[in-house]
Amino acid sequence: MSHSCLCPKFEKAMEILSKRWNGLIIHQLLQEGPQRFCTIESGISISGRLLSQRLKDLEREGIVNREVFPETPVRIEYSLTEKGLALKPVITEIEKWAETWAEEDK
């Protein structure tokens, strides 16, 4: 197996951002702020099971924060951490690039 000459930290960042749905979840939280699970789910049309897994992955990476409110019924909101908010310029530039260069699937 060949080793990449890229910086391992760059590779890790690309691995996180390129995992299916992660970029859209981050984008949704950047645009709309803290949200409940069902709002994220309906906003990007992802299955609940997959969204749950991706949120856990992003939480483990320190990008997403999960806050449980002790109410009845229990309310859980997801938001971006400082590390997640630091992705705003990256996501904004990808969005600009996509508007100029990406073509929609037909």
**Domain-by-domain residue ranges, the chain?**
20-101
Q: What does each C-alpha distance from 18 to 28, 39, 77, 80 come to in angstroms? A: 16, 22, 24, 18
Fold of 20-101: Arc Repressor Mutant, subunit A (1.10.10)
Displacement of CA 89 from its chain's centroid (Å): 14
The CA distance from 49 to 61, in Å, is: 19
The CA distance from 59 to 50, in Å, is: 14
The CA distance from 67 to 75, in Å, is: 8
Tens of pLDDT, residues 1-28: 455 667 999 999 999 999 999 999 999 9
Tens of pLDDT, residues 51-88: 999 999 999 999 999 999 999 999 999 999 999 999 99
Contacts with 98 (C-beta within 8 Å, 6 or more apart), sequence order: none
Q: What is the model's pLDDT at position 105?
A: 80
